[in-house]
């Protein structure tokens, strides 16, 4: 009986720990830091936000998707949480000083590529 309870506890703990891989967490944190420190603006549902507000929003999206065990790669976070509004379906955008707005997905994927090639 004790063995069955221990096994059940270990399996339950494994499911809790089976969320987002550590490497994905690290990359997502680096991307959120890049958004925050970029000097670029972030557009969500027609309103432009600064880096700190953008990071806070993306962190909420990450936390939600992580809790639901929906993230396997950094790309999955970009696709599911950082490219479109879950409320309106409108795409997020990034606009850096002196540049035209680009989709947040394009901006984040470019940043991810740079991170991986450092």
pLDDT tens per residue across span 27-78: 999 999 999 999 999 999 999 999 999 999 999 999 999 999 999 999 999 9
94 beta partners: 42, 102
Domain assignment of residue 93, yes or no: yes
Share of the chain above pLDDT 70, in %: 85
b/e map 24-51, b = 16+ CB within 10 Å: bbebbebbbebbbebebbbbbeeeebeb
Mean pLDDT of 83-90: 96
Confidence of residue 10 (pLDDT cuts 50, 70, 90): very low
**Domain contains 89:** yes
Arithmetic mean of pLDDT over the chain: 90
Does residue 38 fall inside a structural domain?
A: yes
Overall pTM surpassing 0.95 (yes/no): no
Model pLDDT, residue 18: 56
Other beta carbons within 10 Å of 113: 9
Q: Is residue 50 part of a domain?
A: yes
Which stretch of DSSP H or E encloses residue 4?
helix 2-17
Q: What's residue 111's pLDDT?
A: 98
> What is the end-to-end Cα distance of the chain in Å, rounded?
52
For residue 95, what are the β-bridge partners? Answer: 41
**Domain that includes residue 99, residue range:** 21-116
Q: How confident is the model at residue 1 (pLDDT cuts 50, 70, 90)?
A: low
What is the helix (H) or strand (E) element at residue 27, kind and residue range?
helix 22-37
Q: Tell me, yes or no, whether 6 lies in a domain.
A: no
In a domain, 58, yes or no: yes
Has residue 46 been placed in a domain?
Answer: yes
Q: Please report the beta strands in the chain, taking only residues with DSSP state E, as ranges in sequence order.
A: 41-44, 47-49, 93-95, 102-103
pLDDT of residue 85: 97
Please report whether residue 1 resides in a domain.
no
């Amino acid at each position: 009986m004790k063995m069955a309870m221990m096994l059940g506890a270990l399996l339950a703990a494994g499911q809790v720990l089976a969320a987002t891989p550590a490497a994905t967490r690290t990359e997502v944190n680096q991307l959120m830091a890049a958004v925050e420190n970029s000097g670029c603006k972030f557009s969500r549902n027609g309103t432009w936000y600064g880096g700190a507000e953008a990071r806070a929003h993306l962190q909420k999206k990450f936390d939600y998707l992580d809790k639901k065990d929906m993230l396997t790669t950094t790309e999955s976070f970009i696709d599911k949480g950082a490219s479109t509004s879950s409320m309106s379906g409108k795409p997020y955008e990034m606009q850096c000083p002196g540049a035209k707005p680009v989709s947040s997905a394009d901006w984040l994927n470019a940043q991810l590529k740079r991170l991986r090639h450092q």
